[in-house]
Amino acid sequence: MAWNEPGGNNRDPWSGGGAGGGGRGNQGPPDLDEVIRKLKASLAGLFGARGKRSGQGGGFGGNNGERSGGAGGPSAKGVMLIVGLVVLGWLASGIYIVDEGTRGVVTRFGEFERISMPGPHWHIPYPVEATERVDVATRRTVTVGYQAVTAQQARPILSEALMLTQDENIVNVQLAVQYQVSDPEDFLFNFVDPEQTLKELTESALRETIGKREMDFILTEGRADVAQNTQSLINEGLALYQAGIQVIEVIIQDVQPPEQVQGAFEDAIRAREDRERLINQAQAYRNEIIPRAEGEAARILEDSLAYQARIVQAAEGESSRFSQQLAEYLKAPAVTRDRLYLDTMERVLGRSGKVLIDVEDNAPLMYLPLERMIRQSAAPSGDESTQGMSSNNASSFSSSGVQGTDTTASSRLRTRETR
């Protein structure tokens, strides 16, 4: 029955016993030393430790004061417990976790078995299987021609950087290759040192590319071409070797002539730049002058064609008019002759100024100023300024002529200019 029921003598589990036998009743928690001694005794029983003396019988066999149990080996239960713990620990050692961006390469007795993706996994513990983690997300870098000392400082390696060009010149090339692991199995098992293999392959591809191009092309506009061709050669070699590496980018850090000839090379660059500048100026002048000359030539050609068309059409019109007049003349010669005379006089007199002086007692007198007629015929017939000047000259001349001939009748003169 329960310890707190009636008749249970109040034997709670935290007291040292019942009411008799030296029990402590309900005084408090059990003695810690007693608990530790009991635990030690149970463990000693499992592993076969020697028995302890006891003043009373009951825990030991035989008479009082004698040893019991003697020296014995581990018990079967203890051995099984130890073996079970060891087996559990060995099996638990096969649990592993693959981080994001990495792959776990599992080998069985050193031979490739499988690839583990990110997450928790288990494999047969060592020495049967083992796991090696390979980072496939990080971009790694291999350099040729220099070695990075710090983030801002690099040390050149001339044995790698100096290369021979097609025109037998030497250039100093520094190049960096960024790559990632594409196949963890090939990366681990096909090469002892894949990074060193990639470095040697990069140097070989770069020397082949530089050796097929001239120095001026490499130093000026050929950097991108050199980098692209080098990357193509590297990828071809990696595919052939099955290195498990993918080249992401090839970057040319610097291309310079050797230090001993940099002064002469800078002079050559300045001369080349001056040549390009003068060529560009000449091209600009050419592009300005030639279109202007071509436009002027086209304009002159169009004017000549227009003049030709005008002259031809005028000649054709005159010949047509003459043919028509000839036909009319053959029909009525007298009438046609009078008409031609009148038309001619109208045209001639219409272009010349005329001054008519009418005197009451004398016959009409027509005066033609030849000098003014020549000057007026030379000017356009529709020029208003010339016409006004002719009118003024005619008026002044008529006034002076009348004054010289007849001063008494000058007030009675009428001057009229006709066209």
Residues 251-261: tens digit of each pLDDT: 988 888 887 77
Which pLDDT value is given to residue 123? 86
Which residue ranges form the domains of the chain, and what is each CATH number? 92-134 (no CATH), 140-258 (3.30.479.30), 264-340 (no CATH)
- Measure the CA–CA gap between 91 and 123, rounded to whole angstroms: 9
Which pLDDT value is given to residue 101? 84
More confidently predicted of 16 and 237: 237
Which pLDDT value is given to residue 413? 38
* Three-state DSSP state, 114: strand
Q: What's the mean pLDDT in 102-130? A: 87
- Measure the CA–CA gap between 125 and 109, rounded to whole angstroms: 11
Residues 9-24: tens digit of each pLDDT: 555 555 554 444 444 4
Q: Is 181 exposed, middle or buried (0-12, 13-18, 19+ CB in 10 A)?
A: buried
Q: What's the mean pLDDT in 155-160? A: 86
User: pTM of the full predicted structure?
Assistant: 0.49
- Measure the CA–CA gap between 60 and 382, rounded to whole angstroms: 160
Residues 169-185: tens digit of each pLDDT: 888 899 999 999 988 88
How many CB atoms lie under 10 A from the CB of residue 268? Answer: 14
Mean pLDDT, all residues of the chain: 76
